[in-house]
């Protein structure tokens, strides 16, 4: 066998353990007995260390380290066909890509914030088998990660989200597939007109159309005209844009909505 030459030496190299006398209880008036100490979380023993930790959190410990500068590169364009958004930092591009292109439904071109939501969308919207199965069993999966509940309808799922998971009832990523022509309540507001759309003018557009649980890339489109077919060429869109959108910015993907009719927006 190929053993190292000094192996047997290490049998002897154990550091000697001094012989121990068996433990006896302490003799009065002496009271010491060795014991492992335990401190609870709020014990004052921890005070100094905890303070140090919190000083770090509050950034009061002055550490002189260099801030990593955001590297600027020369302007470049998004590589996705039809999208010509321009960037000058890699992080900016990464964020754009992740928001608009990464979790995109190839059927209807909608974007989602996560793979999980995308998968759920495809299942519920584009899987013909789903509708059939949904008639017989609970198929609508809860959107919260880690919750395995399933429901027989989109509405039931929404109720669950609101009641159990304390989600807002207007959670943006859970809009039902059926058309809902509910307009926002036009309560007169002295401060901000809340019924005003939040995303350019698209909110109103979305409201009056079939909504879905996703971020629609065409949100940025102000005046979509064509129903379905394919992505509208960006040039055509541009003509419809109000002049406030700079011409270097285009949001690609067109207004293809799949199977819904699209009302022209004023």
Question: 9, 61, 129, 266: which one contacts other proteins (CB under 8 A)?
Answer: 61
List binders of other proteins among 86-105 (CB under 8 A): 91-92, 94-96, 98-100, 102
For the chain, where are the E strands, in sequence order?
Answer: 72-77, 86-89, 140-141, 150-151
Residue (of 183, 206, 208, 202) closest to 242 by Cα position: 202
Give the dihedral sign, CA 147/149/153/157.
negative
Determine, following the binding rule CB under 8 A, whether residue 167 of this chain makes contact with other proteins: yes
Structural contact between residues 201 and 242, judged by C-beta atoms closer than 8 angstroms: no
Assess 116 for contact with other proteins (CB under 8 A): yes
Output the smallest distance, CB 75 to other proteins, in A: 14
Dist. CA 18–CA 21, nearest whole Å: 10
Residue numbers 15-44 binding other proteins by CB under 8 A: 15-21, 23, 27, 29-42, 44
Is residue 46 part of the contact set for other proteins (CB under 8 A)?
yes
| Least Å from the CB of residue 21 to other proteins | 3
Distance CA 32, CA 254 (A): 81
Does 238 engage in binding with other proteins (CB under 8 A)?
no
Our finding on whether 13 is near other proteins (CB under 8 A) is no
Burial 248-263 (b: 16+ CB within 10 A, else e): eebbbbbbbbeeeebe
User: Which of 63, 181, 182, 185 touches other proteins (CB under 8 A)?
Assistant: 63
Report the nearest approach of other proteins to the CB of residue 236 (Å). Answer: 20
- Please provide the distance, in angstroms rounded to a whole number, between the alpha carbons at the two ends of the chain: 88
Stretch 193-232: interaction string toward other proteins, x if CB under 8 A: xx-xxxxxx-x-----------xxx-xx------------
């Amino acid at each position: 066998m190929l053993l190292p030459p000094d192996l047997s030496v290490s049998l002897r190299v154990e550091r000697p353990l001094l012989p121990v006398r068996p433990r006896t209880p302490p003799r009065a008036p002496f009271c010491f007995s060795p014991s492992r100490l335990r401190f609870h979380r709020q014990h004052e023993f921890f005070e100094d260390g905890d303070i140090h930790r919190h000083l770090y959190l509050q950034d009061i410990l002055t550490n002189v380290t260099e801030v990593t500068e955001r590297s600027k590169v020369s302007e470049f364009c998004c590589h996705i066909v039809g999208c010509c958004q321009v960037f000058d930092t890699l992080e900016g591009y990464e964020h754009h890509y992740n928001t608009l292109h990464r979790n995109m439904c190839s059927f209807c071109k909608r974007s989602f914030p996560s793979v999980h939501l995308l998968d759920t969308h495809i299942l519920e919207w584009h899987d013909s088998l789903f509708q059939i199965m949904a008639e017989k069993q609970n198929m609508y999966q809860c959107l919260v990660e880690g919750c395995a509940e399933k429901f027989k309808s989109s509405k039931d799922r929404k109720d669950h989200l609101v009641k159990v998971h304390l989600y807002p009832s207007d959670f943006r990523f859970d809009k039902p597939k059926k058309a809902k022509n509910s307009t926002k309540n036009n309560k007169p507001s002295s401060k901000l007109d809340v019924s005003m759309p939040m995303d350019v003018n698209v909110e109103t557009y979305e409201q009056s159309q079939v909504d879905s649980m996703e971020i629609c890339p065409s949100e940025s489109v102000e005046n979509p005209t064509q129903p379905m077919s394919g992505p509208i060429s960006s040039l055509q869109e541009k003509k419809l844009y109000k002049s406030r959108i700079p011409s270097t910015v285009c949001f690609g993907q067109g207004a293809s909505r799949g199977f819904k009719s699209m009302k022209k927006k004023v």
